[in-house]
Amino acid sequence: MTSISMGTGRSTADRLAAIRGGVQPKRHNARTIAALTRNPGCARRAVLDTAGVDKQRLAAYIDFPARFGQSGFAIARGNAFEAQVKASGAAELVRLLRERLGLPIPEVAYDDLETVTGREKESPEVRYARSRALLLRAAAGEEDAGTLFDHPLLALEVAGQRVYLEPDLIAFQHEGRFHVVEIKSFAVVDGQADPAKVSAAAIQAAVYVLAMRQMLAEAGHDPEIVAHDVILVCPRDFSNSPTAVLVDVRRQLAVLRRQLGRMTRVDTMLAALPPNLSFDLAPDADGVPTRAPEALVEALRTVEARYAPDCLSVCELAYFCRAEARGCTAALGTSAREELGGIERVETALGLAKGELSPAEEQEEAAALLRNAARLRAEVLGTAG
Amino acid sequence: MAESVDAIEHRIDALRAEIRRAVATRDTSRTRALRAELRAAERDWEQAVADLADLADLSAPTGEAPVGAEPGPAGSLLPVREQVHHALTLLSVPAAPRLIAEVHAAFFGPSAPSLAANRLTHLRRDEKRSFETAPYARPYHLCAALTAAHLAPARGLIAVSTWPLERRIVGPLSPRVDFLTAAVRVARRAGTMPDGSAPVSKLLWRFATNIPGATGAPGTLDRHDTVDPQTVIRAAEAEQAVHAETDRAQRKAAADRARRQLDDVQQLFGSTLRTLQRKTA
Ligand code: SF4
């Protein structure tokens, strides 16, 4: 993307680099890409994420630290379960795949792609090249091309930046289909799991499906040989024994494609922003950022946000935006925001409900609704009290 | 036992809240002290989770006291490397620390606490150092399995230096073949044991559930005391026959390559791509 914005002759990439300050862009991963599909209307996050600003550091520096603290535990528990399922050449997984996919007995080849050369620190390029070679051989239907690819590395372009992604496992059947396998440590009880967790896992798996399909398409293979059914492996009934379910991620794929496409149109958004906008956290000799927190808060306020309660689980800036949005109807959630279309502030809504304010033309409908609600409430309280 | 995982998690939550308050009041010295405390608590947590994982698999599922509760003379007196050697000799294939610890606990009774799976990982590095300073000074070394593709050390597997190179090579089919071999070895050994050792039958059952036809009649899947060693052996050997030939050929080819390209240390502990390139360049 080389379009020129602001008439200053700067390319979008330069502009994003300036916004980010003199650091490497923060790398995306499947989780952060998945988060992009929640609250898509927020320009603030779109700009920060596209530029690759370290939102975690930014939020901490302006004294609204993100509280994703529990995830450390979740990750450790998840890793323990994953290790169990994958022990001895993924013996437990092989059984599940035989049950779910009808994987035939000879198909047990297992390739560990987490390390390739045995060196402790290994570049993603090496791992990606090896994964790509093995997966493309399988796609080409070559003899002995493998069945289970443990931690392969995939790549996806996100806002002009190559992002490496690491699915838990990809299984291949010689009948010609790839399946993304996602291993999670939340329990499936009587065939039911927490829907929020399942949907988070589904969208994360969809990111892998998308990356995998793009890789195949670029190499001239049919991308549809990656199944839209992903395999979710979870502990069954709080025991340690794993169970597998198929999850259809077609809807998630559609959402993702749309969001990723949108991020490449960021120059329109940039055009509306102050030309010197920057979230540079460059530290001085003592490691303290040189700019005052107030300056960064100021910069944040120039980019429009769209706070919703959902932000708390997906965006590092949520505590800042929530504080900022206090008194806004939007902070009450998406449904309230829609019902109260055209009314920005909670005080306005209250004023309209009590009839203290007279509504502007576009507020008529919501105002009638509010007055009605106020009347009902009064009646109910009146008879009850 | 030490503090429970849940208790530590509570402590960590409380510390995080404290830190937030300290940061908000810009009390830097307090923040720093709290952060150090948090790091320590997180280390405790990791240890507790690791211990939990080890205990969960070693204890008897019927609610009897775990075997480790009764300290036997054979267990903790042996050095760790010998305990590992015992377990690996029984299995006869490269294995992950976790399985080694389980096998040792099931067949040789209590093991030294240091055999806990998470502490075995550094063992290989020590063995390598010892081999480099005094090659072949010991009757055996605990060493690495090598990947067939790059002759690099296979992640997380421990092997014995006196095994033929072919047995220490891991091709794409080898993890499955080795799993089946281990199942046969465990079943044979279990067949010679007096009945009723819960850790042994649980171990055998875990192998059996992941081999088609090894648990006998369907529906007995959840009963680990009903697994018949002979059935396991027959089922494992039947599946092994499917993969054996290709696996053997792949291992042999890689082993030949290793003997040509690698020096003694590398043949035991694996090469890295860099040294391999230098040698072949
Ligand atoms: S927390 Fe703020 S920046 Fe993040 S998505 Fe919500 S409104 Fe946008």
Residue A147 or residue B47, greater confidence = A147
- The pocket around ligand 1, CB under 6 angstroms, is made up of A 39, 42, 44-45, 305-307, 311, 315, 317-318, 321
Q: Please report the pLDDT score of residue A6 as a whole number.
A: 40
Which pLDDT score is estimated for A23? 85
State the closest ligand 1 atom to the C-alpha of A307, by its place in the atom list counted from 1: 7
CB contact under 8 A, A112 and B42: no
Q: Does A69 touch chain B (CB under 8 A)?
A: yes
pLDDT of B65 reads: 32
Phi-psi region of A3 (alpha: psi -120 to 50; beta: other; left: phi over 0): beta
Residue A76 has its nearest CB partner, among B46, B147, B209, at B46
Q: Quote the DSSP letter at residue A161.
A: E
User: Facing residues of A86 across strands?
Assistant: none
Compute the distance between CA of residue A194 and CA of residue A177 in angstroms, rounded to an integer.
28
For residues A223, A37, A75, A118, the Cα torsion angle rounded to the nearest 10 degrees is 40
Alpha carbon of A19 to ligand 1 centroid (Å): 17
pLDDT higher than threshold 90 for residue A341: no
Contact by Cβ (8 Å): B100, B185: no
Report d(CA B112, CA A314) in Å as an integer. Answer: 45
Given an 8 Å threshold on Cβ–Cβ distance, is A119 in contact with B152? yes
- Mean pLDDT, residues A307-336 taken together: 82
Measured in angstroms, the CA of B73 and the nearest CA of chain A are apart by 31
- Indicate if the pLDDT at residue A182 is higher than 90: yes
Q: How far apart are CA A141 and CA A80, in angstroms?
A: 34
The pLDDT assigned to B60 comes to 30
| Residue B63 phi, psi (nearest 5) | 95, 0
What is the structure's pLDDT at B192?
85
Q: What is the tens place of the pLDDT at every residue in B183-227?
A: 999 999 998 887 667 889 899 999 999 999 998 765 545 555 678
- Name B243's Cβ contacts closer than 8 Å, sequence gap at least 6: A106, A108, B173, B176, B177, B180
The answer to whether residue A44 scores a pLDDT higher than 50 is: yes
The protein residue whose alpha carbon is closest to atom 4 in ligand 1 is A315
Dump strand ranges (E) for chain B: 142-147, 153-160, 169-170
Q: How much is the pLDDT for A84? A: 92
**Contact (CB<8Å) A76/B242:** no
Q: What is the pLDDT of residues B82-131, one digit of tens each?
A: 889 999 999 999 999 889 988 988 898 766 555 655 566 667 778 888 88
Q: Are strands A177-183 and A154-158 parallel, antiparallel or unpaired?
A: unpaired
Residue B272: list chain A partners with CB under 8 A.
Answer: 117-119
Among A115-124, A279-288, B2-11, B229-238, which stretch is predicted with the lowest mean pLDDT? B2-11
Q: What is the pLDDT of residue A3?
A: 39
Q: Which residue has the higher pLDDT, A191 or B171?
A: B171
- Does the structure show a pLDDT above 80 at A141? yes
User: What chain A residue is nearest to B206 in terms of C-alpha separation?
Assistant: A92
Distance from CA of B181 to the nearest CA of A (A): 11
Check whether B42 has a pLDDT greater than 70: yes
Q: Is A271 exposed, middle or buried (0-12, 13-18, 19+ CB in 10 A)?
A: middle
Task: Please state the separation of Cα B82 from the chain's center in Å.
Answer: 15
pLDDT in tens, B45-74: 777 766 655 444 333 333 333 333 333 334
Longest CA span, chain A: 79
pLDDT digits (tens, 9 = 90+) for B154-182: 988 999 999 999 999 999 999 999 999 99
Whether residue B53 lies within 8 A of chain A, CB to CB, comes out as yes
Dihedral Cα A132, A27, A70, B36, nearest 10 deg? 120
User: Would the pTM of this model clear 0.80, i.e. be above it?
Assistant: no
B210–A94 CB contact, under 8 Å:
yes
- Provide, as residue numbers in chain B, all residues whose Cβ is less than 8 Å from the Cβ of A292: none
Q: Tokens representing A6?
A: 């602001």
Report, as an integer, the average pLDDT of A55-62.
90
User: How, if at all, do strands A177-183 and A229-235 pair?
Assistant: parallel
Which range, of A107-116, B28-37, B117-126, averages the lowest pLDDT? Answer: B117-126
Which residues of B161-205 form beta strands (DSSP E)?
A: 169-170
3-class SS at A147? coil
Cα distance between residue A29 and residue A65, in whole Å: 20
Of A93-107, A152-166, B46-60, the one with minimum mean pLDDT is B46-60
What integer pLDDT is reported at residue B66 of this predicted model? Answer: 35
- Distance (Å) from the C-alpha of residue A178 to the closest C-alpha of chain B? 17
Cα dist from A91 to A86, A108, B236, whole Å: 7, 9, 12
Model confidence at A206, in pLDDT bands (50, 70, 90)? very high
Say what the pLDDT of residue B58 is: 36
Q: Please indicate if any CB of chain A lies within 8 Å of the CB of B267.
A: no
Residue with CA closest to ligand 1 atom 2: A321
Residue A366 has pLDDT above 50, yes or no: yes
Mean pLDDT of A95-116: 92
| B172 reaches A (C-beta below 8 A) | yes
Q: What is the DSSP string of A35-104?
A: HTTSSTT-HHHHHHHHHT--HHHHHHHTT-----TTHHHHHHHHHHHHHHHHHHHHHHHHHHHHHHH---
Residues A333-340, mean pLDDT to the nearest whole number: 70
Is the CB of B252 inside 8 Å of chain A's CB atoms? no
Per-chain mean pLDDT for chain B: 80
Q: Which residue of A has its CA nearest to B45?
A: A73
A28-42, A368-382, B55-69, B250-264: which has the minimum mean pLDDT? B55-69
Model confidence at A184: pLDDT above 80: yes
pLDDT category of residue A216 using cuts at 50, 70 and 90: very high
pLDDT at B256 over 80: yes
Using DSSP, state whether A359 is helix, strand or coil.
Answer: coil
Nearest CA-CA distance, residue B2 and chain A, Å: 18
To test the contact with chain B by mutation, choose from A73, A96, A120 the residue with the greatest count of B C-beta atoms within 10 A, namely: A73
- A41-50, B73-82, B119-128: least confidently modelled range: B73-82
Q: How far apart are CA B172 and CA A220, in angstroms?
A: 26
Instruction: Give the mean pLDDT of chain A.
Output: 85
Of residues A310 and A200, more confidence is placed in A200
- Determine whether the interchain pair A117/B270 forms a contact, defined as Cβ–Cβ distance below 8 Å: no
pLDDT at residue A284 tops 70: yes
- Please list every residue in chain B whose beta carbon sits closer than 8 Å to the beta carbon of residue A116: 149-150, 152, 273
Residue B25 has pLDDT above 80, yes or no: yes
Reported as a pLDDT band with limits 50, 70 and 90, residue B137 is: confident
Residue bearing the bigger pLDDT, B253 or A379: B253
Tokens of A182: 């996602």
Cβ burial of B244 (10 Å; 0-12, 13-18, 19+) is: middle
> In chain A, which residues have their Cβ closer than 8 Å to the Cβ of B182?
88
Cα A118 to averaged position of ligand 1 atoms, centre (Å) = 41
Alpha carbon of A27: minimum distance to chain B alpha carbons (Å): 25
